């Protein structure tokens, strides 16, 4: 079924993750398990469901991470990918179950959540996008990021500064993949559909639970699992 034409503003749910208010957008209503979009670093949920995802049979939703899109901006930064995993978990609780599709930073967060909530995440599709590499596998030179203080609105400059330098060791990433593989009951809980291969993703792609495929194939696979 194609996306229904929409004349008014699309529905937005306001969810609470600790002291932050998150915006969960319904890009296409529907029955069954939702496809949850997790955007890349500095991005926001797109205005319409991307064409490559329209073959998904159920509803399509998108979450704005903390400090992005229509979600609230915290004072003085403090971003970590683990906090963003908490953002995604907040949306997941609301949806009960979901298949995740993450771009860039959202792909890494999707992997983390697939490992943390293996029963509720029914497949995670990792796509290219901003913030896929993070700060590399080991820490860089110590610094204190002071982003542009006169910037206003989203994306929060602290998010851009802090989430582009968070360390992503390959064995940390694979611990989440292994957990998803062991506890989700899915043969291939994570699908890697990316051209860029930062170290963490190269390690994940080699694991038994990861499938290297195209996004259409991954959507078909996860639409068919219970």
Partner 1 sequence: MTAPLTPEEAAAARFPGARRPDRQRFVSSQGLRLAVSEWGDATAPAILLAHGGFDFAGTFDVFAPILAGAGYRVVSWDQRGHGDSEHAELYSWDADVRDMLAVLDSIRADPLILIGHSKGGAISTHLIQAAPDRVRAFVNLDGIPSHRPPPDVADHERTRLLAKELSGWLDHREQAGSKVRRPDTIDGLARRRQRMNPRLSLEWLRYLATVGARKDPDGWRWKIDPALRPGGFGPWRATWSMTRFASLPVPLLGVLATESEPMGWDTRPEEVQPYLPPGARVMALPAVGHFVHIEQPQRIADLVFEFLGDLS
Residues in touch with partner 1 (CB under 8 A): 16-20, 66, 72, 74-80, 82-83, 85-86, 89-90, 93, 115-118, 138-139, 142-146, 149, 158, 162, 166-169, 172, 175, 178-179, 182-183
Distance CA 168, CA 39 (A): 18
Is the preceding omega at residue 52 within 30 degrees of 0, hence cis? no
Tokens found for residue 165: 């330098």
Residue 182's Cα: distance from chain center in Å? 21
Angstrom distances, CA of residue 83 to CA of 17, 27, 44, 98: 9, 24, 17, 19
Nearest CB to partner 1, comparing residues 175 and 202: 175
Q: Are 135 and 163 in contact (CB under 8 A)?
A: no
Nearest CB to partner 1, comparing residues 32 and 139: 139
Query: What is the closest distance, in whole angstroms, from the C-beta atom of residue 33 to partner 1 in the complex?
Result: 20
Query: What is the closest distance, in whole angstroms, from the C-beta atom of residue 212 to partner 1 in the complex?
Result: 23
Nearest CB to partner 1, comparing residues 78 and 216: 78
Query: What is the closest distance, in whole angstroms, from the C-beta atom of residue 75 to partner 1 in the complex?
Result: 4
Query: What is the closest distance, in whole angstroms, from the C-beta atom of residue 118 to partner 1 in the complex?
Result: 7
Strands of 210-212's sheet in order across: 12-17, 20-28, 60-64, 34-38, 98-103, 121-127, 190-193, 210-212
Torsion of CA 172, 181, 30, 130, to 10 degrees: 30
Helical segments of the chain, H only? 81-95, 105-116, 157-162, 170-183, 199-205, 215-223
Nearest CB to partner 1, comparing residues 28 and 134: 134
Helical segments of 5-80, H only? none
Query: What is the closest distance, in whole angstroms, from the C-beta atom of residue 99 to partner 1 in the complex?
Result: 18
Nearest CB to partner 1, comparing residues 81 and 218: 81
Query: What is the closest distance, in whole angstroms, from the C-beta atom of residue 131 to partner 1 in the complex?
Result: 15
Nearest CB to partner 1, comparing residues 82 and 196: 82
């Amino acid at each position: 079924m194609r996306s229904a034409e929409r004349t008014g503003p699309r529905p937005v749910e306001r969810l609470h993750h600790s002291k932050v208010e998150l915006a969960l957008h319904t890009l296409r209503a529907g029955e069954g398990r939702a496809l949850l979009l997790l955007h890349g670093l500095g991005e926001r949920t797109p205005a319409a469901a991307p064409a490559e995802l329209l073959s998904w049979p159920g509803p399509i939703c998108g979450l704005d991470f903390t400090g992005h899109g229509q979600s609230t901006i915290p004072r003085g930064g403090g971003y970590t990918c683990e906090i963003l995993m908490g953002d995604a978990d907040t949306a997941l609780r609301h949806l009960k179950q979901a298949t995740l599709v993450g771009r860039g930073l959202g792909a890494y967060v999707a992997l983390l959540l697939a490992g943390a909530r293996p029963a509720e995440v029914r497949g995670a599709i990792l796509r290219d996008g901003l913030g896929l590499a993070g700060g590399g596998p080991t820490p860089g030179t110590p610094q204190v990021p002071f982003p542009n203080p006169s910037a206003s609105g989203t994306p929060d400059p602290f998010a851009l500064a802090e989430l582009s330098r968070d360390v992503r060791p390959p064995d940390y990433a694979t611990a989440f993949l292994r957990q998803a593989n062991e506890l989700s009951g899915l043969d291939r809980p994570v699908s890697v559909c990316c051209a860029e291969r930062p170290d963490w993703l190269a390690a994940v792609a080699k694991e038994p639970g990861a499938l290297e495929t195209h996004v259409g194939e991954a959507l078909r696979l996860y639409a068919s699992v219970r």
